Structures are given as C-alpha cells and as structure tokens.
Amino acid sequence: MLIIGEKLSIIAKRVREAMMKKDKGPIQEIALVQAKQG
C-alpha cells in the first residue's frame, strides 16, 4: 500500500496534497471513479 501511495503522490498533485493534509475525500473520489470504470 505504501508503494502505491508513494507513486500516486508523485503523479497526482491533488492526491499528494490530500495525503499531506490527511484528507481522504479526494482520494475516495478517485477510487470510486476508478471502481466504476472497472
């Protein structure tokens, strides 16, 4: 899980900011969109 989080935080500015603020909202939104897309 840490490796995935590290790669996401490097790629997506929105994810990096959410992780630094410990805000799960943006990360949950991205996960839901990805889950719906399969």
Question: pTM of the predicted model, to two decimals?
Answer: 0.58
Per-10-residue mean pLDDT, the chain, length 38: 61 82 90 87
The C-alpha atoms of residue 22 and residue 24 are separated, in whole angstroms, by 6
Looking at residue 6, what is its pLDDT?
Answer: 63
**Cα–Cα distances in Å, from 2 out to 6, 7, 21, 26, 37?**
6, 9, 17, 18, 23
Looking at residue 8, what is its pLDDT?
Answer: 61
Q: Output the six-digit token pair for 33.
A: 């969109």
Q: Where are the domains of the chain?
A: 2-37
